[in-house]
A = this chain, B = another copy of it.
C-alpha cells in the first residue's frame, strides 16, 4: 500500500523506519480494536519501540487480565504434558482432575514414595501441577462470581421466574467445579432450620468459599 511496493525486511533508513513505525503502529492498533469489537474476542497487543518505549492495546479492562488468562492457558497445556509424564512413571497417580478424591490421591502419592533425593523431580512436577490447578481454580471462581453478581443485578430487574437463565448457568458451572474437585460433601445442611430456605443462587454463592 502506498506509492511503492515494500520488501519484507528491516527498513535501513532510520528516518523512514521511524515514520513507518508511527504509521503502522497506529494502523495495527486500529485493526486490533476492530477485530476485538467486530468479532467479540479478546485481543492484547504489545509493542516495544526501538528506544524501549511501550505501546499497548487491549480489549479487556486491563492487560493484566488478558495476561493472566494467557498464563492459565499455558499452564493448562503444560499440565497436559506433565500429566502424561506422571502417568507414565507413576501409574497409580491418575489424573488429579478426574480422580475421585484429589486430596487422598496426593496423600497416597506422597506416602507411597520414600522421600529421597531421587524424587525431588517428581515432587516438583506435582507442585507445578497443583499450582496450575490452583490458578485455574481462582480464575474460574472469579468468573463464577462475576456471573453471579450479574445474575443478581439482572434478577432484581426481571420479573421473577422459576429460575433465571443466568442462575441456571451459574448453578451448572458450580456443579462442574464441584465435580472437578469432587469436594467431599458437607452434611446436606447444618444451618439453623429456622432460617428461610436459600435460593439456588445463594446456595451457589455459598459453595464458592
Q: How far is the CA of A9 from the CA of B50 in the complex (A)?
A: 34
Partner of A39, one of B24, B37, B54, B70: B24
Q: How far is the CA of A18 from the CA of B48 in the complex (A)?
A: 30
A200: CB under 8 A from chain B? no
Residue of B nearest to A10 (CB): B40
Residue of A18, A37, A45 with highest tally of chain B CB at under 10 A: A45
Residue of B nearest to A56 (CB): B70
Beta-carbon contact of B46 and A70 below 8 Å: yes
A201: CB under 8 A from chain B? no
Question: Which A21-67 residues have C-beta < 8 A from chain B?
Answer: 21, 24-25, 27-28, 31-32, 34-35, 37-50, 52, 54, 56, 63, 66-67
A163: CB under 8 A from chain B? no
Which B residues touch A206, using CB under 8 A? none
Partner of A38, one of B10, B45, B49: B10
Which B residues touch A185, using CB under 8 A? none
| Contact size range, A | 35 or more
Residue of B nearest to A50 (CB): B41
A108: CB under 8 A from chain B? no
**With contacts A28-B28, A45-B44 known, is A38 near B8, CB below 8 A?**
yes
Partner of A42, one of B11, B35, B41, B47: B47
Q: How far is the CA of A24 from the CA of B25 in the complex (A)?
A: 17
Beta-carbon contact of A28 and B25 below 8 Å: no
Shortest beta-carbon distance from A146 to chain B in Å: 16
Which B residues touch A49, using CB under 8 A? 41
Beta-carbon contact of B35 and A21 below 8 Å: yes
Known: A24-B31, A42-B48. 4 other contacts (CB 8 A): A17-B39, A25-B35, A35-B47, A44-B45
